[in-house]
Structure formats: structure tokens, C-alpha cells
């Protein structure tokens, strides 16, 4: 089903999984080959920027929440 020899482009969820795995440095060789063979770079760039923004805002929110509960 997820064979890199398929000529289908990766789905949204496959691209999101690849972006998250790449962000944490655990991307598999099979998925990387699929992404470079069938994926569009612009899709991965857009998802990467969105993932980074959401990740940074989540960390910011967690820090603000911890500081609020700490009374600082």
C-alpha cells in the first residue's frame, strides 16, 4: 500500500507524517524515497512552515501556562 514504487503522490497524512518525522530526525528511508520520488517540494515546504509555527506557538503557550501557575 505505501510502496515507494507506486506512482501516486503522497496523501496529506503521509506528508504530515514525513514532515513531523523529519523535524524530529527519525524519517525512514522508505518514506524519504517516496517523498523525493513522488512528492512536490512546495507541499513539504508549506507543511514544514506550518508545523514549525504550530510547534513554536504550542511551546510558547506551555511556557506561559507554566509561568502563570508558578505565579511569575
Domain of residue 20: give its range.
12-70
Helices 12-24 and 29-38: angle between axes, nearest 10 degrees: 130
Q: Note whether residue 7 is domain-resident.
A: no
Q: Note whether residue 28 is domain-resident.
A: yes
Q: Note whether residue 2 is domain-resident.
A: no
Q: Is the pLDDT of residue 1 over 60?
A: no
* Residue 28 DSSP symbol: -
- What three-state secondary structure class fits 67? helix
If we measure between CA atoms, which residue out of 8, 55, 2, 7 comes closest to residue 29?
2
* Total of domains in the chain: 1
Q: For 50, phi and psi rounded to 5 degrees?
A: -65, -45
Query: Is 18:10 a contact under the CB 8 Å cutoff?
Result: yes
Span 40-67, pLDDT tens digits: 899 999 999 999 999 999 999 999 999 9
Span 36-47, pLDDT tens digits: 899 889 999 999
Amino acid at each position: 500500500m505505501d510502496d515507494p514504487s507506486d506512482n501516486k503522490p503522497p496523501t496529506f497524512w503521509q506528508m504530515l507524517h514525513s514532515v513531523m518525522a523529519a523535524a524530529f530526525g527519525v524519517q525512514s528511508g522508505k518514506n524519504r524515497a517516496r517523498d523525493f520520488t513522488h512528492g512536490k517540494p512546495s507541499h513539504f515546504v508549506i507543511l514544514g512552515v506550518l508545523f514549525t509555527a504550530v510547534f513554536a506557538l504550542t511551546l510558547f503557550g506551555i511556557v506561559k501556562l507554566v509561568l502563570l501557575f508558578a505565579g511569575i
